[in-house]
Amino acid sequence: MILEELLREERFRYLKVLNKNADLSRDVMTVESTETPDVEKYIPQNTFLLMTGMAFQNNPQLLCEFLEALNGHDCAGIAIKLGRYVDELDEYVLETADRLGIPLFQIPMNMTLGEVYHEILSYIWNNQNDNFLSAVNIHRNISSLILRGSSMKNILNNLTAILNKPVMAVDMFGKIQDYGYTFSKADRKKGVEIIEKLMNNGALEKDSYYLYEEEEKRYCIYPIKGIGRNTNYLIVLNFNPEGKEQLVLTMELVLMALGLYFYRDLYVQYSHMKTLEEFFYILLEQLGDKMWTERQVLSIGGAYGFTAAAEYQIVLISMESSKRKKFDSDCFSQSEESYILVYAWIKQWLEEREEKDVLIFPQESKWRYILLIQGKKTELKERYAQLYNYIKGRFGKRITIAQGGIISSILNIKNSYQEAEDCMENGERNEEYSYLLSYKPKDIMELFKFVPERERKDICRFTLKELAFPQNQMQEELRKTLYTYLFSGNSITKTAENMFLHRNTIKYRVKKCEEILGAELSSVSDCFHLQLALLLSEYDNK
């Protein structure tokens, strides 16, 4: 269809041509409403643009440059609502439009852009050919919008014009993804309430649409299937496809196209999650090597929500899995989809509660999530219960929660993280909350594993000399005597009793140890260092 055919229609007589040499033979394929001055990069060919001219207020030169840019994209024409931001077009603008042949139109002040958009788009879709509203053509057009990277807003606006009904998309958590321009605020609120109500009683788990009537309004709810479950819902207001085969097929193909959009969006979410995960690993590495100062951590991490606080704590949330397969980022299955969706819900859950000081990072390699709690938090167990119950109820999956220790400096995040990891593997389940693991304190021997082996041996040799790792029987006996003496409260009598030796033998050996070590065993400080070194060397001997 060309512009001239559009203008012949009585309903569009309000569109006034402003320039003399307007090329009315230009094809019109679609209509867009925008105020963006660089829109030429994004619109498809043969687009009829609607605008108020806000971006070009008091700047006719910029409008001329805009016309030049559009000319290379076969723009059908531009309709401007004069009188709001631009009272009239500069003569230079009209001359530029005439030179390029781009038609300029005036929209009356009593018409809204939404009304014009709806009327023109409806006419375009209804008049391209007799079968334009057939299911295949609609699917093709919606799919084309998706493949061109159109926003959900634009897709739903087009769908509104096609069906001539208000449409809205809502995700499985009750969050509005977007809506067409005719869906009122009150109806949006009611639509979300209905979705939540039906989700809670399981009515939306089926694959077919659901009709809900209330207050003389009919909400037709279509599930949009993800990989393994319904992840989003399309609400069409006052719409009933029952007994209308063409509408049924149309909606099936539309839902298939929207499923493609949300599948693509799943990968976009994953890409963002991957960026967060990589940052967290870099943070742990830098803190482990003591490369960053506290100021650097807060400065670099500020973009991710890091803030100064009196205390910090790492909490790990692990999802159950019947098969601990590797996360497949190239081909998502139901497991990967659930992992991404749970992450999205926890993030949304934190935002709704304005928990800006609680950050979430993904850890896909272990199918879990990392929470960084900044500042003192109360009622954590109640919040964990909310997380557990919602994820179990909505996803049918159980989670396990493990807490690291509370630290006073952000530079010690790695310590809290390591404690949370150990708690996840070896922690004891809480009697009241079975999904919550409690940290099991280590004995001193277990703590030595965090000291590198080379450093352990160097410390032992420096402190214990030849008694660190005995090479003959005499050194073995002296080491044994030293150990027993120090852990018997430096008592000759108790040491003799414990070793079944004469007191004089013990005195001789203690004196010999002092000579080898170059230390006085009467010194509390020396004895403490020797005790630690003996334990440390025993760890390596084991």
Nearest of 368, 277, 372 to residue 317 by alpha carbon = 368
- DSSP for 117-137, please give it: HHHHHHHHHHHS-TTTTSHHH
Could you tell me whether strands 77-80 and 47-51 are parallel, antiparallel, or unpaired per DSSP bridges? parallel
Instruction: Judge residue 25's burial from the number of C-beta atoms within 10 Å of its C-beta, 0-12 exposed, 13-18 middle, 19 or more buried.
Output: exposed
Q: Which residues of the chain fall below pLDDT 70?
A: 127-135, 243-246, 321-324, 439-450, 540-542
For residue 349, give the H/E element and its range. helix 334-352
For residue 104, give the H/E element and its range. strand 104-106
**Alpha-carbon gap, residue 524 to 530, rounded angstroms:** 10
Bridge-partner residues for 30, per DSSP? 47
Q: Which residue carries 């989003």 as its tokens?
A: 232
3-class secondary structure per residue, 271-333:
HHHHHHHHHHHHHHHHHHCCCCCHHHHHHHHHHHCCCCCCCEEEEEEEECCCCCCCCCCCCCC
Residues, the chain, total? 542
pLDDT on residue 365:
87
Q: What is the pLDDT of residues 36-54, one digit of tens each?
A: 888 877 788 889 999 999 9
**Alpha-carbon gap, residue 487 to 495, rounded angstroms:** 9
pLDDT on residue 323:
58
Nearest of 38, 13, 43 to residue 28 by alpha carbon = 43
pLDDT on residue 132:
44
Task: Kindly list the structural domains of the chain, giving each domain's residue range(s) and its CATH number in brackets, ordered by start.
Answer: 3-124 (3.40.1390.20), 151-242 (3.30.450.40), 272-441 (3.30.70.270), 447-540 (1.10.10.2840)
Q: Which amino acid belongs to residue 39?
A: V
Residue 495 and residue 485 in contact, taking contact as beta carbons nearer than 8 Å: yes
Nearest of 33, 265, 34 to residue 161 by alpha carbon = 33
Q: Which residue carries 């077919």 as its tokens?
A: 208
Residue 413 and residue 283 in contact, taking contact as beta carbons nearer than 8 Å: yes
pLDDT on residue 360:
95
pLDDT on residue 541:
61
pLDDT on residue 170:
95
- Calculate helix-pair angle for 60-71, 91-100, nearest 10 degrees: 10
3-class secondary structure per residue, 221-270:
EEEEECCCCEEEEEEEECCCCCCCHHHHHHHHHHHHHHHHHHHHHHHHHH
DSSP 3-state of 83: coil
**Alpha-carbon gap, residue 247 to 240, rounded angstroms:** 9
**Alpha-carbon gap, residue 335 to 333, rounded angstroms:** 5
Q: Which amino acid belongs to residue 498?
A: N
| Number of helices followed by number of strands (H, E) in the chain | 18, 16
* Cβ contacts of 376 within 8 Å, gap of 6 or more: 310, 311
- Whole-number Cα distances in Å, 255 to 140, 142, 204: 12, 10, 15
**Alpha-carbon gap, residue 507 to 495, rounded angstroms:** 10
Which stretches of 309-468 are assigned E, i.e. beta strand? 312-319, 358-363, 368-374, 399-403, 428-429, 436-438
Q: In degrees to the nearest 10, what's the CA dihedral of 292, 298, 302, 307? A: 150
pLDDT on residue 291:
83
Nearest of 468, 466, 496 to residue 484 by alpha carbon = 496
Nearest of 438, 424, 305 to residue 374 by alpha carbon = 305
